[in-house]
Amino acid sequence: MKRWEPYILWLGRIVLAVLFLWAAWGKISDPQGFARALWNYRMIPDPVIPILAIGMPIFEALAAIAILLPPLQKGGSIVLLGLLGVFIVALGSALARGLDVDCGCFGEGSSTVSPLLIVRNVALGAVALWSFLRS
Amino acid sequence: MEVILLLAVTVAVAAGLQATRSNPLPLTLPSSVWGLESHAKWIDNARARELYSSGDGLFVDVRTPEEYISGHIAGGVNLPPSLLFELYETFSSWTEGQRLVFYGSREDSFALDEVLLELEKMGHTDLLAYPEGWEGWVESKGATEEGEDPLLNPDGYWDEEEAWDDDEGYEESNWDEQGDAGDGE
């Protein structure tokens, strides 16, 4: 590992943690809005939506905290990587179907789905993967 | 192992949040809820019963007056979209300071959303929507009653037979002197 790598890695982990905590906060404070955003993707069975709307933001927040704690970094990284993978698939599917909907990334009222969001999530996924490999 | 730990803590935190929130997101929702555009918070049967038992909520029925008369949540009032503007002043003054819970028919969210959106435009916040509606309330064996809503509809609901009392004669005070006296003739 190069000398600067640990610092850049930590910076990456902090960026991931801050972004996911910010995103989780928006969803935890308005689960109903997030549920509606999930429904708009037309991919999730209706009975599952409330459970995801309540549980997913908490899972995100805990993973964001875990990625900053050395004993839990591996688990936190793989969870964030998995979540980003799911988000990329959902965004790609929405775009492919021509859905003009709220991405729900930071709760209801977030930006509309767009290719830029996929690019962003791929970049974040690369950081999460790097964190996992170096944990 | 860490992932399982995170999942377990997630479940615990989620259960805790649901238990402590004043209006937790219902775990089961009727399909009509996804058509609601207003920002009113959805409540489920259990929360509706809780608000009813504690007296903390005033239930507002947005169905038609005929549907309201044939059965409604006990102690509630009627505010159909067609009469919203006409009754708004009376409704506002009468319900000031009360926690309003709006309901309609479970399978038809349109009337419910129409009323909620209009009230939100007028500045009302913190409205509650009970999307399970009349059907959900009856199924969960909530208290019901039949009859008119004289408080909000004094000109529309007076029973002609009650107005013509054989012992006391015609009660002129029961009718709006300025308005239509009904089909007395």
Confidence at residue B151, expressed as pLDDT on a 0 to 100 scale: 66
- pLDDT tens digits, B12-68: 999 999 999 988 999 999 999 998 999 999 999 999 999 999 998 999 999 999 999
Contact A76 B34 (CB under 8 A): no
**Mean of pLDDT values over B129-152:** 90
- pLDDT tens digits, A53-80: 999 999 999 999 999 999 999 999 999 9
What pairing do the DSSP bridges indicate for beta strands B72-73 and B77-78?
unpaired
Residue B182, class by beta-carbon neighbours within 10 Å (0-12 exposed, 13-18 middle, 19+ buried)? middle
* Cα of B113 to nearest chain A Cα, Å: 15
Which A residues 73-92 touch B at CB under 8 Å? 74-76, 78-79
**Mean of pLDDT values over B75-104:** 90
Confidence at residue B93, expressed as pLDDT on a 0 to 100 scale: 85
**Mean of pLDDT values over B127-141:** 96
- Is the CB of A52 inside 8 Å of chain B's CB atoms? no
Nearest chain B alpha carbon to A71 = B2
Cα B83 to Cα B152: distance, rounded to the nearest angstrom:
10
Beta strands in B5-157 (DSSP E): 41-42, 57-61, 72-73, 77-78, 99-103, 128-130, 144-145
pTM: 0.82
Confidence at residue A100, expressed as pLDDT on a 0 to 100 scale: 83
State the Cα angle at A33 between A30 and A39, rounded to 5°: 140
Confidence at residue B148, expressed as pLDDT on a 0 to 100 scale: 84
The answer for B165, left when phi > 0, alpha when psi is -120 to 50, beta otherwise, is beta
Cα B67 to Cα A24: distance, rounded to the nearest angstrom:
43
**Mean of pLDDT values over A1-27:** 90
* Cα of A28 to nearest chain B Cα, Å: 9
Beta strands in B25-111 (DSSP E): 41-42, 57-61, 72-73, 77-78, 99-103
Cα A76 to Cα A63: distance, rounded to the nearest angstrom:
4
**Mean of pLDDT values over A21-28:** 94
- pLDDT tens digits, B153-182: 666 544 444 444 444 444 444 444 444 444
**Mean of pLDDT values over B122-145:** 94
Nearest chain B alpha carbon to A42 = B34
**Mean of pLDDT values over B93-111:** 90
For B10, the closest of A39, A62, A75 (CB atoms) is A62
Confidence of residue A105 (pLDDT cuts 50, 70, 90): confident
This complex has an ipTM of: 0.86
